[in-house]
């Protein structure tokens, strides 16, 4: 009985300790998730800028007069204001954001228009959007540079001091401190359920390509553009930093799912990130320009299925296989993708060649080298 009491006391002490750390992190608005040698970190500065872009889009499009030729009229009261097309996760997310912040709508639009927060050409704004992934938010509505942590981008061509002042003011206008605290579950769900398992990709690709990337960092936010992913290496090529959003399918996968138990209203495919990372690994080892061949994409999809088979659960593999089937169509998948996948699996399991050589040989033979 004494031993049992000691165990209970130890458990309570550990629980309280962990809870205290979590409370401290939450109060400081630290939002990151560590998996092995991969860290997923919420970029609040990019999130704040993305929210500003969203409200600017609403304001610009709400000025258009309705006419028979107008296909859309974006107005704040409307529940169907798309921001990232074809991605219901983000449409619903920004719909929620708009409703939460709508009471302050006039102040938000006035601030954006009068401070120059979003001034500049589309190319300039896109560059600022990317740079902001590398900036930090203090949790007190103050944004600042952390470029020494990554040292990957040059900020010399940007007047970021003005941008940071305007962005910090916008964070205060929208009460981002309260917004994040009250919607913490959205950020947590994004990191745990939407963002792909990058660490598994790092482990699998390191082994396949015999390349040792020691660490991956993914700077992202629920509000980041899922169609804009970029990758950077540090100077000694031991660390990779990925910036951008995560793409989530919804019921477009529904119609091709054969297993009723796997059907879901929200489905996130890992393929987009897998494709970008595979191309980077391939660039490290290839001797010919194999990635420009049409056949490459089919082999890439097959390699993705092999990765899912090796590293993920059976249910996950079935989901991703159905995603590939959706992308190519059932007939094309059966006639083109599935045979390549089966061949990769067969040759790999024979162990006469490692997977890298099988992959390169397959590309060279089909691309005419």
- Phi, psi dihedral angles at 229 (to 5 degrees): -115, 130
What pLDDT score was predicted for residue 205? Answer: 95
What pLDDT score was predicted for residue 251? Answer: 46
Question: DSSP for 288-322?
Answer: S-GGGSHHHHHHHHHHHHHHHHHHS-HHHHHHHHH
Q: How far is Cα of residue 110 from the mean position of the Cα atoms in its chain?
A: 31
Q: What is the pTM of this model?
A: 0.81
The pLDDT averaged over each successive group of 10 residues in the chain (369 residues) is: 34 33 41 90 94 89 56 54 75 88 90 92 90 83 63 55 89 93 92 92 94 93 91 85 83 44 54 90 70 76 95 91 84 92 93 88 73
Please give the Cα distance from 340 to 357 (Å, whole number). 15
Please give the Cα distance from 33 to 56 (Å, whole number). 31
What pLDDT score was predicted for residue 224? Answer: 94
What pLDDT score was predicted for residue 289? Answer: 58
What pLDDT score was predicted for residue 24? Answer: 36
Please give the Cα distance from 345 to 334 (Å, whole number). 16
Helices 122-131 and 44-61: crossing angle, nearest 10°? 150
Return the DSSP state at 287. Answer: S
Could you tell me the two tokens for 365? 């033979």
């Amino acid at each position: 009985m004494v031993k049992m009491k000691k165990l209970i006391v130890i458990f309570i002490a550990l629980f309280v300790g962990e809870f205290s750390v979590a409370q401290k992190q939450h109060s400081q608005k630290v939002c990151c998730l560590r998996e092995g040698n991969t860290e997923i970190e919420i970029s609040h500065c990019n999130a704040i800028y993305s929210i500003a872009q969203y409200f600017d889009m609403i304001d610009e499009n709400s000025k258009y007069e309705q006419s028979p030729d107008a296909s859309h009229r974006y107005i704040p009261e409307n529940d169907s204001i798309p921001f990232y097309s074809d991605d219901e996760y983000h449409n619903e997310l920004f719909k929620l954001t708009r409703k939460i912040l709508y009471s302050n709508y006039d102040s938000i639009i006035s601030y954006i228009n009068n401070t120059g927060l979003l001034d500049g050409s589309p190319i300039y704004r896109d560059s600022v959007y990317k740079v902001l992934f590398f900036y930090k938010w203090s949790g007190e509505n103050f944004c600042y540079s952390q470029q020494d942590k990554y040292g990957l981008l040059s900020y010399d061509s940007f007047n970021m001091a003005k941008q940071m002042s305007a962005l910090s003011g916008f964070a205060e206008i929208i009460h981002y401190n309260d917004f994040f605290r009250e919607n913490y579950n959205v950020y947590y769900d994004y990191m745990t359920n939407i963002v792909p398992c990058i660490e598994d990709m790092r482990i699998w690709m390191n082994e396949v390509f015999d390349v040792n990337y020691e660490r991956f960092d993914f700077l992202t936010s629920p509000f980041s553009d899922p169609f804009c992913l970029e990758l950077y290496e540090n100077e000694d090529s031991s660390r990779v930093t990925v910036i951008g959003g995560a793409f989530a399918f919804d019921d477009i996968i529904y119609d091709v799912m054969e297993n009723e138990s796997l059907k879901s209203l929200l489905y996130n495919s890992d393929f987009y990130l897998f494709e970008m990372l595979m191309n980077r690994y391939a660039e490290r080892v290839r001797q010919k320009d194999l990635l420009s061949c049409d056949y490459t994409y089919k082999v890439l999809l097959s390699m993705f299925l092999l990765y899912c088979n090796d590293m993920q659960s059976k249910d996950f593999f079935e989901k991703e296989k159905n995603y590939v089937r959706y992308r190519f169509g059932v007939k094309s998948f059966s006639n083109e993708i599935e045979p390549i996948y089966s061949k990769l699996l067969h040759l790999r399991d024979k162990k006469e060649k490692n997977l890298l050589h099988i992959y390169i040989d397959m590309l060279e033979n089909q691309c005419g080298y």
